[in-house]
Amino acid sequence: MEYYSKEIGNLIGELQKLPGIGEKGAQRLAFHILNMPPDDVKHMAETLVSARTNVHYCKVCCTLTDSETCPICSNPKRNHRQIMVVENSRDMAAYEKTGKYEGVYHVLHGAISPMQGIGPNDIRLKELMKRLEGDVDEVIIATNSSLEGETTAMYISRLIKPTGIRVTRIASGVPVGGDIEYIDEVTLLRAFEGRTEL
């Protein structure tokens, strides 16, 4: 990094902290930013800070939102007795894109991974269990079909079973290790419709 002056080096260093951005990518972005009109850069920086400041977890489903309760949780037309459990807000967006799911969600923000030291208390599981004290007919577990996703699904189903609430798992039309957000809508719908009892 010593080829560049301090300011440029700092910028490259910050950009490199983003996922999927290596040193070369960070350099390309840095020089792109340095060539942008100053007002555009200012607007971009302000958008970053504003989003980070104003976006937080929905108090019901834990998805990221800028209101106290997200638009889905505050929609009376949704079926609030059917909860689909997903790993992150992007997976939730993928299901929303199908336009066919009428229930609500619960976002875990991760999956249980003993290998990476992520346990049940590191994801939003307590919040889910609290919601189940209300009127719930079905919990659909839509975590990824990765090892972590399956471990999480199994753990959750064991927790919920004693409550008598119906627990289902989306069908494995979803390729193993495949991230839900990258799967096309038809496959997602098929996985949802073919869900099985746990």
Q: Which CB, 33 or 64, lies closer to Zn ion?
A: 64
Neighbours of 84 (CB within 10 A): 23
Q: Which is nearer to Zn ion, 26 or 92 (CB)?
A: 92
**Least distance CB 182 / Zn ion (angstroms):** 23
Sign of CA dihedral 81, 85, 89, 95: negative
* Rounded least distance, CB 71 to Zn ion, Å: 8
Token digits for 132?
């189940």
* Nearest distance from C-beta of residue 74 to Zn ion, angstroms: 8
Closest CB to Zn ion among 103 and 149? 103
Closest CA to 140 of 188, 97, 182, 187: 188
Shorter beta-carbon distance to Zn ion: residue 58 or 180: 58
Measured between alpha carbons, how far is 8 from 169 in angstroms, rounded to an integer? 49
* CA quadruple 171, 175, 176, 178: dihedral, nearest 10: -110
Structural contact between residues 124 and 58, judged by C-beta atoms closer than 8 angstroms? no
Q: From CA 171, how far away is CA 142, in angstroms rounded?
A: 9
For the bound state, the minimum distance from the C-beta of residue 146 to Zn ion, rounded and expressed in Å, comes to 24
- The binding site for Zn ion (CB under 5 A) comprises 58, 60-61, 70, 73
Considering the complex, what minimum distance in angstroms separates the CB of residue 103 from Zn ion?
Answer: 12
- Considering beta carbons, is residue 58 or 111 the nearer one to Zn ion? 58
